[in-house]
Amino acid sequence: MIIKKKIGVVCQCRVSSKRLKNKIILKICGKPILFYLINRLKKIKCDKIIFAVADELGKEKIIDIIKNSFDKSAIYVGSVNNVLERTLQASNKFEIDTIIRVTSDCPFIDPHLINKGIKIFEKKKLDYLSNNLKKTFPLGLDFEIFSTDALNKSSMLSKHKLNKEHVTWFIKKSKKFKKFNISNTHYDERKIRLTLDYMSDYLNFKKILENNLILTREFSWRKLKLLLQNKSNKESCKK
């Protein structure tokens, strides 16, 4: 009998940020940026969406947004600096076999691309899959899929600070794991910036969302590219 493995998104969330304070709770069109990410996550074909929240001052603001935006969400509060431990404990708490890892400062992640990755991961029986082993997609569309077993093994084999901070550092550099990379085969669009680190990023997101409310409902990275190039009809929240 084949037992279906339980797949879960683990989204890492924190309030503290040296470059842009409280970045994921900044508002656009009356909604925090985290709200727009949650709408994307709901379109991923998985069994559970888990928010791995850093245990720090102000975490309640994030938790309130999550609860108000998605009543089926699961929340785990853990280590601020040891992100690997936080991710692993969150997946263990909710009995996840396969982890889809995303970060909360990338609100434009593409669920269609991630769903494609899930199919490849399962078909090839991989330990690890991502679209950033070779970086060809716009910055801010990065995601990783890996087994909880692989992460456990990584945690035991490497105690390096970089592994604790970046979660999959050892998995990516080690030959002990079966890996695969999804590449953007058309052309390298890494110069397109869709991640949130600076005030300029926030202002850019604000401009995009205020003029393209369709992004709160449906999204693919190719559609976003067309919107950025003003080749699609606009719908504004300023109406």
Q: What is the pLDDT of residues 207-219, one digit of tens each?
A: 888 877 666 566 6
Q: What is the CATH number of domain 7-197?
A: 3.90.550.10
Q: What is the pLDDT of residues 20-76, one digit of tens each?
A: 989 999 999 899 999 999 988 999 999 999 999 999 999 999 999 999 999 888 999
pTM for the model: 0.91
Delimit the domains of the chain by residue range: 7-197
Q: What is the 3-state secondary structure (H, E, C) of the chain?
A: CCCCCCEEEEEEECCCCCCCCCHHHCEECCEEHHHHHHHHHCCCCCCEEEEEEECCCCHHHHHHHHHHHCCCCEEEEECCCCHHHHHHHHHHHCCCCEEEEEECCCCCCCHHHHHHHHHHHHHHCCCEEECCCCCCCCECCCCEEEEHHHHHHHHHHCCCHHHHHHCCHHHHHCCCCCEEECCCCCCCCCCCECCCCCHHHHHHHHHHHHHEHHHHCCCCHHHHHHHHCCCCCCECCCC
Q: What is the pLDDT of residues 147-186, one digit of tens each?
A: 999 999 999 999 999 999 999 999 999 999 999 999 987 6
* pLDDT of res. 219: 64
pLDDT at 236 over 60: no
